[in-house]
Amino acid sequence: MTSTHMSRRAFGHVAVAGTAAVATGLALPGHRAGAAPMPLPPPLPPLDPAALQAVIDDRAAPPSTAAQLRIGGTAGHWRGTSGLADLGSRRPVRAGDRVRIGSVTKVFVATVVLQLVAERRLALDTPVRRILPGLLPDRYGAITVAHLLNHTSGLPDHVGIPEPETAEEVFRHRFDHWTPREWVATATRGPLKFAPGTRQEYRGINYVLAALIIDRLTGRPYGEAVAARVLRPLGLTRTTVPGDDPRIRGRHVHGYLRTADGRLRDITEYDQSSSRGEGDMISTVDDVDRLLTALFSGELLPPRLLRLMFTLPPDEVRMLDGSPARYSTGLQQAAVNGVVLWGKTGETYGYQNAAFSTRDQSRRFVLAYHPTTVRDGTESRMIARVGDLLTREAGGAG
């Protein structure tokens, strides 16, 4: 059995040609607790529709079957599609087609947890073991809710799960099923990697636990809480939490993987149980754009808690490789050509996503596309190209 997203895969570590760095936060430090205010960003470039269409039409790197891009914000709007939603019927991608959004799921989960904090149903400094007794070993007693949400828990790597390296291995494990307790058990067998709160490592297991906290405090599956608190209030009618259903209901874009014999094989149906709460949701670029707009505008959280989503850990908290922390509570920071963006990347087999905005919402983009490779290092290149094009002139690049 295996995770849809791979236990140690770091989402959004995107390398960009030249000086840009999308979804890494490496190019420009973000706002941190107690830090001086950030300087005003450079002006954004005007949108270039032809260049934007060319970016999503370039589906060779990474090899992809389709793409959708929506750009919003006060600095201009644009949307486009490219490729086929279904290779069998040859149906083109259309606006409103559903996709798997991978780790963009974490934005929904973090928002609901913070809503529960606002309602005083828990505190961010509450030990996880107090809310979920018997799930974590005693030696993990220092891990708090806050550590889960900003990836500073120190939980060890998963043990005893296969991690597919080829398309054939992915298909072999596509319908493996895990209960949340079974999945948590694979990441709780060893000592903590570091004292909670002292380092940062992006881990999906943190949000599996966060979803279990929602289950416990609301008395219903986390997806029902997300629907009641976020989806229905915002009118996100094409966004779902699939639960145990491996299919995508309604009109959607199929995902494909290229096998060793050169065929493109449909990977749309996939058991998402190992990514429950951290990467299992289904949505559209329009719904995700609406989520970002509402969240950044303060429709979903009070100001004191919304600020946490735009606050990185203190400077002394570094990633395991020594680079600056780049994940806040529920979001990640990206700096491209001097423009700071906040949002989230997400991936699962056959699906890649990015949803980012400047804090003032002058520029916002949601990208969904469909790579056909398995962990070959090229999957995030389209995100990089879009991010560079949307900020390039602001940084003075030609």
pLDDT at 378: 86
In this prediction, residue 162 carries a pLDDT of: 81
Question: Tell me, what's the pLDDT at 374?
Answer: 93
- Between 49-57 and 381-391, two packed helices, what is the crossing angle to 10 degrees? 170
Q: What is the CATH number of domain 49-395?
A: 3.40.710.10
Distance between CA atoms of residues 194 and 196, nearest Å: 6
Residue with tokens 């809503």: 115
User: In this structure, are residues 78 and 71 in contact, taking their beta carbons and an 8 Å threshold?
Assistant: yes
Residue 23: predicted pLDDT: 34
Instruction: For the chain, give every domain's residue range.
Output: 49-395
pLDDT in the model for residue 28: 32
Over its length of 398 residues, how does the chain's per-residue pLDDT go in tens digits?
333 333 223 224 433 222 233 333 323 334 565 555 556 667 899 999 999 999 999 999 899 999 999 999 999 999 999 999 999 999 999 999 999 999 999 999 999 999 999 999 999 999 999 999 999 999 999 999 999 999 999 999 999 998 999 999 999 999 999 999 999 999 999 999 999 999 999 999 999 999 999 999 999 999 999 999 999 999 999 999 999 999 999 999 999 999 999 999 999 999 999 999 999 999 999 999 999 999 999 999 999 999 999 999 999 999 999 999 999 999 999 999 999 999 999 999 999 999 999 999 999 999 999 999 998 788 999 999 999 999 997 555 44
Burial of 151 (0-12, 13-18, 19+ CB in 10 A): buried
Task: Say what the pLDDT of residue 40 is.
Answer: 66
> Could you tell me the two tokens for 286?
């329009």
Q: Distance between CA 76 and CA 331 in Å, rounded?
A: 23
Q: Say if CB 88 and CB 332 are below 8 A apart.
A: no
Contact at 8 Å (CB) between 325 and 312?
Answer: yes
* Crossing angle of the two packed helices 105-118 and 205-218, in degrees rounded to 10: 40
55: Cβ contacts below 8 Å, ≥ 6 apart? 69, 382, 385, 386, 389
Q: CA-to-CA distance for 38 and 343, rounded, in angstroms?
A: 18
Q: What is the pLDDT of residue 394?
A: 57
